Chain A
């Protein structure tokens, strides 16, 4: 009887949650404060704070628990990110914990079949195989591949074990696939990572320009905040600058469509116009900016062992101005398809001294074979007009995952990184060795493999053991077939920690059941430098264990008890306080564990109890020390760098044989590969299968109507899937778009593994395909 009553109560909260989520989608900014009161007064449910599990926005949520089960979610009104709002994924997120096929026990491949075993036995095997492989094939034959969905402690212990104890830099994370270009953009322009602004910029800006960024679907709560500002204030304009028409385009005041890759040319043309009309903020530029150029014709990384190192050469303003002569709006119109008048219009918005401008971008600029360059070029625009590091003036790189910033960029779970600095720097290695209590010689000064090259190494056999946590590379790797075949080779050993069966668990030799989200304690770090703690709110099912503790268990088995001395009841707090030592100082000081537990997120640098909203501006940033009105202290010259970066074509463009661009991406209902959201009935039923968006005129020429099957063929593979014509997104003629959330249609068997030579981030937005009616 009790069980039935609880189930009914659960269903009623789910019903209310669905209605609130639907209202949120239909009426941006809608609020239901009484829901909180109703629920609290009911006495049936208790609420605890957490960051949302999905995108990099970092919405604060309150998770409702009844009888030990998470039954509801609502926005946290105390969290400044979302102020009580959630998107449809957030409102339904607790349902992801309770899918019927949840992995609750460890499994080991025996005689070709997966067999359930006690988790301790599986961990013994993982440690044994790791040790055996290292002894037989060398330290760089073992690797760990994690995620921007790793908690900060997950990534920290992974880095400590592999880099500090095992001595290999074979540590990578899927954030390489989503924001590496943002990192190299920040590093090359400012010498220090992560945005200078914050979400509060949205409450001050007059102009929002989204660069290849469908915010309405990918960051819906932030986009709602923009729209609410537009409604509340009279002087707000939204420009969507994109390669296809989306819900963001529909909501924008103006939609400007450009040819793929030509954003490079348009950004330069905007700078040309700013200089031509003397909209340059000369005081700012003379005091705070240096000019540089780098190498050109830098390749695309499609071959194994591809190597590239850029070289910065100082140039003067006149040389930069001369470089821009190739990018008049009229010339760029021919490359980009953007009318010269529209380029001039955007330049005039950036150039108007009375307007505050915020630029947003995410995958469109980062998943780009010149991803670092296009990040540099948008910074150039803001730097020329001095619209940076002040409220409302912000070039703002958004992230796609809840802790791509916190775990990957800040902890440094990339091959070349350490929690502070890079492996190539002796001082940084010494600091890591001291904090980790390992000999400094353990930390190899040479990076090994970035993500694409890591999976190539697995295919070649240079890597023979890989441990994959919280990610699904057998859906997400570009040119997927090669990497799946590589993982399946006989002498490879693949360990996968996950919560549901996926195409990646299909290639595993060991599957470890993981705790998910609030089934463990942890921290995430969002797009605006905000660290968000969450407590364990419900128990994980069966033998599921946090990824952090799985790594600690293996580390202890390998003899590293001294480096991993913690117990299950205190390890997250202890890890945080150890990790925090890496960031001591005004440039990156992190809040203490006790402060994080109390607040709905804390922005770093957190100095003397105060968060830093705008970096490089001494009014807000305690790290500024040059006595001027701005201090770009990431660079030795205390200046931000404007880069002369040319337009160069994509790695593969349509031709006579493969005559369409293929662009891939996401939809609002699904999180990445869908392994979580496809187990949430409301979200799954909303978009149960992937599809290919085709321009209506192209569809007519192909003789294809809505829902008919279409074969998409590239030089690497093919996939057959239903057509969507005049759906939520409409590509221009000559382009198709496919969401990648559906493992039934592995679109990445078609994509190309070309990447930005500087960031090593692949370009999922551009390759050449042809279409056939199936």
Chain B
């Protein structure tokens, strides 16, 4: 049951599109910055399969330039 948070950076000028794309994905919550081209993404998936599927969906987003991991937690590691 992993929880991760990331800083998501959009490709040039695609902040709104990135927010829309991320908001559509299941298990994702976003907090866009008011004044910078940065979006906080928090993911909370129930199992590894779902997590892997989500990762693939994220990798396929055209509006996403990069994801930087800032926090990670997994019950399995406890």
Contacts and interface: CB of A to CB of B under 8 A. Distances in A.
B59 interface: no
Nearest to A27: B36
B44 interface: yes
A35 B33 CA distance: 9
Interface stretch (A7-15, A395-403, A557-565): A7-15
A30 B33 contact: yes
B70 A38 contact: no
Contacts of A35: 31, 40
A316 B44 CA distance: 73
Nearest to A36: B31
Contacts of A696: none
A18 B71 CA distance: 6
A18 to B, nearest CB: 4
A23 B4 CA distance: 15
Nearest to B19: A34
Nearest to A38: B31
B33 A31 contact: yes
Contacts of A16: 5, 29, 31, 40, 42
A15 B44 CA distance: 10
Contacts of B38: 23, 27, 30
A14 B40 CA distance: 12
B44 A34 contact: no
Contacts of B1: 8
A97 interface: no
Interface string A526-551: 00000000000000000000000000
A15 B7 contact: no
Interface string A17-43: 011111100110111111100100000
Interface string B1-32: 10111110000000000000000000001011
A20 B32 CA distance: 10
B35 interface: yes
A30 B35 contact: yes
Give the bracket for the number of chain A residues in contact with chain B: 20 to 34
B33 A32 contact: yes
Contacts, number: 71
Contacts of B31: 16, 19-20, 32, 34-35, 38
Contact of A19 (B35, B44, B70, B73): B70
A137 to B, nearest CB: 54
Most buried by B among A18, A21, A34, A682: A18
B71 A34 contact: no
A132 B43 CA distance: 61
Contacts of A8: 1, 3, 44
B49 interface: no
B35 A31 contact: yes
A275 to B, nearest CB: 45
Most buried by B among A16, A19, A682: A19
Contact of A15 (B32, B36, B71): B71
A188 B33 CA distance: 47
A34 B42 CA distance: 14
Given A18-B5, A19-B42, A22-B70, A29 B29 contact: no
B61 to A, nearest CB: 18
B5 A19 contact: yes
* Chain A contact residues, majority secondary structure: helix
B77 interface: no
Given A20-B40, A22-B70, A15 B4 contact: yes
Contacts of A32: 31-34, 40
B46 to A, nearest CB: 11
A32 B39 CA distance: 9
A433 to B, nearest CB: 54
Contacts of B29: 12, 16, 38
B36 A11 contact: no
A33 to B, nearest CB: 5
A31 B34 contact: yes
Given A15-B73, A19-B6, A30 B36 contact: yes
Given A8-B44, A38-B29, A14 B71 contact: yes
A29 B68 CA distance: 19
A10 to B, nearest CB: 10
A30 B37 CA distance: 10
Interface in B40-60: 40-42, 44
A774 to B, nearest CB: 35
Contacts of B3: 8, 11-12, 15
A358 B73 CA distance: 45
A91 B4 CA distance: 17
B42 A26 contact: no
Nearest to A29: B35
Contact of B34 (A18, A21, A22, A33): A33
A20 B31 CA distance: 9
B40 to A, nearest CB: 4
Most buried by A among B3, B34, B68, B71: B71
Contacts of B7: 19, 22-23, 26
29 contacts: A8-B1, A8-B3, A8-B44, A11-B73, A12-B29, A12-B42, A12-B44, A15-B3, A15-B42, A15-B71, A16-B5, A16-B29, A16-B40, A18-B5, A18-B70, A19-B5, A19-B31, A19-B40, A19-B70, A21-B70, A22-B70, A23-B40, A27-B36, A30-B36, A31-B33, A34-B32, A35-B40, A38-B29, A682-B71
Given A20-B40, A682-B71, 14 more contacts: A8-B3, A12-B44, A15-B70, A16-B40, A19-B5, A19-B6, A19-B7, A19-B42, A19-B71, A21-B70, A26-B7, A30-B38, A31-B35, A34-B34
The 8 closest A-B pairs by CB, nearest first: A15-B5, A18-B71, A19-B5, A15-B71, A19-B40, A19-B70, A22-B70, A31-B34
Interface of B: 1, 3-7, 29, 31-36, 38, 40-42, 44, 68, 70-71, 73
Interface of A: 8, 11-12, 14-16, 18-23, 26-27, 29-35, 38, 682
